[in-house]
Structure 1
Amino acid sequence: MTDIGFIGAGNIGGGLARLAAARGYDVLVSNSRGPETLGELVAELGGTARAGTTLEAAAARIVVVSIPLKDYQTVPAEALAGKTVIETNNYYPQRDGRIAELDNNSVTSSELQAAHWRTTKVVKAFNAIPADQISTDASPAGTANRRAIAIAADDAAARAEATELIDRLGFDVVDVGALAESWRIEPETPGYGKRETVSQVETSIASAQRASDPGGRVPSLPWPPPIRTA
């Protein structure tokens, strides 16, 4: 089985694929235009890396979805059933159009996608790092001032699997909590786009504030969330 399948091979997806291939992972990349358009990237990745269809990417052990949020429903939910899916997507209304559930804070973008993918174990990660810093900021575990990546997930096993992968790729991990808390690392929050260590990410997460809306959910509790037992 392929280690990591990438659905979307643009700036973020392609950058993570390069990093994963360099770390020895078996990688398959895909995009909406077809595998024949990915020859240059595959040649750059080298090793056992290859291009394929979205369905082939979805068959991997871990799947990374890195596409415009407006296209999330094009990703086949059935093919991702039971899989750990790392989604890197952000909501940009100027690109994605207005999405009422996100505008009124009824759900986070991660929850919106997880609802469509149903039985998928979704992890939010790598949405707050500029694409050109993925390769330049990766460093071995124990490196002083190592960059941290914030993640959110509802499933404990998926959270652990993503944490191990991100560490191997070259980053420390800060657990934001459930997908409902992933708004803390979305655009316009304090740590978005910044190079921060674990302690700095924790400070940024704790200071994030969500715009209130009478049609939205009850405001989130202060971070960190209660200790999870599952």
Structure 2
Amino acid sequence: MKLTVIGVGAIGGNLARKLSGAGHDVEVADARGRQAIAPDVLETGARAVPLEGSVQGKDAVILAIPFGVAGQLADLFASVPAETVVIDTSNYYPHLSGRIEAVENGAVESAHTSELLGRPVVKAWNAALAETQRTRGLPAGTPGRIAIPVAGDSDEAKRVAMSLVDDTGFDPYDAGALADSWRQQPMGPAYCTELTLDELPAALAAADRDKDAAVRDSMMERFATLGANPTVDDVVEMNRAAHR
């Protein structure tokens, strides 16, 4: 597939490397310009391109950008065909983005992103740590393969996103409509807890918006108890423990 990844942080860099390594035609763009794209992001064949025009002629565009800034890309997407799948990977953390009243008043995070962008999105890759995504992908069929939830309102768009999740080394799980994607947001039982395909549905079902938001808002305090150099396993266990 012809893909663009917008944003070159940890998640965007992981996806550019993995998807180009899987054989996709991947371009990478960033609002700060091509000079912001580290060479290692391009090491498996992805190409750095200017942001302007980067979303034209693509099968899918992956947004690996901070939550709440999608509106800055609305003009960029205005002429993009409806069949181009747009995948949102962002998460809402008030201590990073500031309080966003629409979300605080009940808007589902990715529904808010869709409204800002002016087009439908699919939610994927947000519910796994960047280091999990970088180091723990496995071939399809491997026992214990970690699952990643995918939510959206178009079955075809979800099919595309789920195929790409599989190509990055994780079992995709159809998590329902975009309105239900709050179940995979911080810090629910399905969020960054490294569950398998058999375990993930129960975790999504157990999500509680009020409780999960409280767990999210206590994250920095809990993270501080892990010491100076917590491992991925330390963080995953902290997240799991919050829901026992």
* Band of TM-score, shorter chain: 0.7 to 0.9
Give me the whole-angstrom Cα distance separating, in 2, the residues matched to 1:142 and 1:18.
Answer: 22
Question: How far apart, CA to CA, are the structure 1 residues paired with 2:90 and 2:31?
Answer: 16
Task: Give the whole-Å Cα distance in 1 for the aligned partners of 2:38 and 2:210.
Answer: 44
Tell me which residue corresponds to 1:222. none
Match of 1:56 in 2: 53
Alignment of 1:206-225 (within 5 A): 206-211=205-210
1 CA distance for matches of 2:110 and 2:166? 22
Which residues in structure 2 correspond to 1:33-52 (within 5 Å)?
33-38=32-37, 40-45=39-44, 47=45, 49-52=46-49
| AA in 1 matched with 2:183 | R
The structure-2 alpha-carbon separation of the partners of 1:38 and 1:146, relative to structure 1 and needing over 3 Å to count, comes to same
Is 1:81–1:117's contact at 8 Å kept on the other side of the alignment? Answer: no
CA contact (8 A) 2:110 2:121 kept: yes
Task: Give the secondary structure class of the aligned counterpart of 2:135.
Answer: helix
TM-score scaled by length of structure 1: 0.84
How big is each residue's C-alpha offset from its partner over 1:80-125, in whole Å with a ceiling of 9 and x where there is no partner? 44120111001111111111111021x211111112333x341101
Structure 1 unmatched runs, 5+: 213-230
Structure-1 separation of matches of 2:22 and 2:134: 12
TM-score by length of 2: 0.79
Paired residue type of 1:66 = A
Matched, 1:103 2:104: yes
Tell me what 1:25 maps to: 24
CA distance in 2, matches of 1:16, 1:187: 20
User: Structure 2 stretches of 5 or more lacking a match?
Assistant: 212-244
For 1:180, what is the secondary structure of its paired residue? Answer: helix
Give CA deviations for 1:7-51 in whole Å, capped at 9, x if unaligned: 101100101111111111111111121013325135423x3x211
Give the aligned residue type for 1:153: G
Q: Give 3-state SS (helix, strand or coil) of 2:198's partner.
A: helix
Residue 112 of structure 1 corresponds to 112
Taking every aligned residue pair, what percent have the same amino acid on both sides? Answer: 36
